[in-house]
């Protein structure tokens, strides 16, 4: 398997949106209700043999005091997942700020996905999928709702990014 392509992927988004939980679900197939808030950033890798891709994943910290570190992680990235919590309008607004920051300072070839996480909490929904889809369409993003808890759409999210990566 010498032709596995490495791809740097960064997760951005508000604290508590579920970045670490999505990564742990994807990489380890695990979920905990007691996930600790990330300090700085965490690094994990996962190979997807089907797409011959090795994701090198930077799971960043959403707390505001770590914001200035973010460029270190999105610079040189092939793809970004911007995560919000569907029960929080504020987290959706933060996601839009990340989109703007990537548009201003990121790589124009960056593949950007918008993940509306905590889809299992639909009873507490604050952000309609139609609103997020409309925003994603206007900004050239791939949009999907996910649940790190139930694992709904988590594989699809990462697979879609893998499919969109430029072929070596
Ligand atoms: P920071 O590291 O502080 O930026 O937060 P984060 O975006 O990494 O969020 P994290 O993964 O730590 O999740 C925050 C909380 O939300 C934890 O208590 C998780 O258990 C919970 N959580 C994450 N994803 C889901 C989900 O899909 N559904 C539900 N119900 N809870 C979730
Ligand atoms: Mg985290």
Residue 1 in this model has a pLDDT that exceeds 80: no
Gap between the Cα atoms of 126 and 82, Å rounded: 17
| Ligand 1 binding pocket includes 15 (Cβ within 6 Å) | yes
Which of 16, 85, 94, 125 to mutate for ligand 1's pocket (most ligand atoms within 8 Å of CB)? 16
Token pair of 1, please?
């398997």
Q: pLDDT of 66-85, one tens digit each?
A: 999 999 999 999 999 999 99
Task: Please state at what angle helix 154-164 crosses helix 19-28, rounded to 10 degrees.
Answer: 80
| Ligand 1 binding pocket includes 153 (Cβ within 6 Å) | no
Spatial contact of 71 and 41, defined as CB atoms under 8 Å apart? no
Q: Tell me which residue has its CA closest to atom 29 in ligand 1.
A: 118
| Ligand 1 binding pocket includes 10 (Cβ within 6 Å) | no
| Ligand 1 binding pocket includes 94 (Cβ within 6 Å) | no
| Ligand 1 binding pocket includes 147 (Cβ within 6 Å) | yes
Edge-to-edge order in the sheet of strand 79-85: 41-48, 53-60, 5-13, 79-85, 111-117, 142-145
ipTM: 0.99
Q: What pTM value is reported for the model?
A: 0.98
Q: pLDDT of 2-53, one tens digit each?
A: 799 999 999 999 999 999 999 999 999 999 999 999 999 999 999 999 999 9
């Amino acid at each position: 398997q010498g032709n596995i392509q490495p791809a740097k992927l960064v997760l951005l988004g508000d604290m508590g949106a579920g970045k670490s939980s999505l990564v742990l679900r994807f990489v380890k197939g695990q979920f905990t209700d007691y996930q600790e808030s990330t300090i700085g950033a965490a690094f994990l890798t996962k190979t997807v043999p089907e797409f011959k891709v090795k994701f090198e994943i930077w799971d960043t910290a959403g707390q505001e005091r770590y914001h200035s570190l973010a460029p270190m992680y999105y610079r040189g990235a092939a793809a970004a997942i911007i995560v919000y919590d569907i029960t929080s309008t504020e987290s959706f607004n933060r996601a839009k700020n990340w989109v703007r920051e990537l548009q201003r300072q990121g790589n124009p070839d960056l593949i950007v996905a918008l993940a509306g996480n905590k889809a299992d909490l639909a009873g507490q929904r604050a952000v309609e999928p139609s609103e997020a889809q409309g925003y994603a369409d206007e900004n050239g993003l791939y949009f999907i709702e996910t649940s790190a808890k139930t694992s709904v759409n988590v594989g699809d999210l990462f697979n879609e990014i893998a499919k969109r990566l430029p072929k070596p």
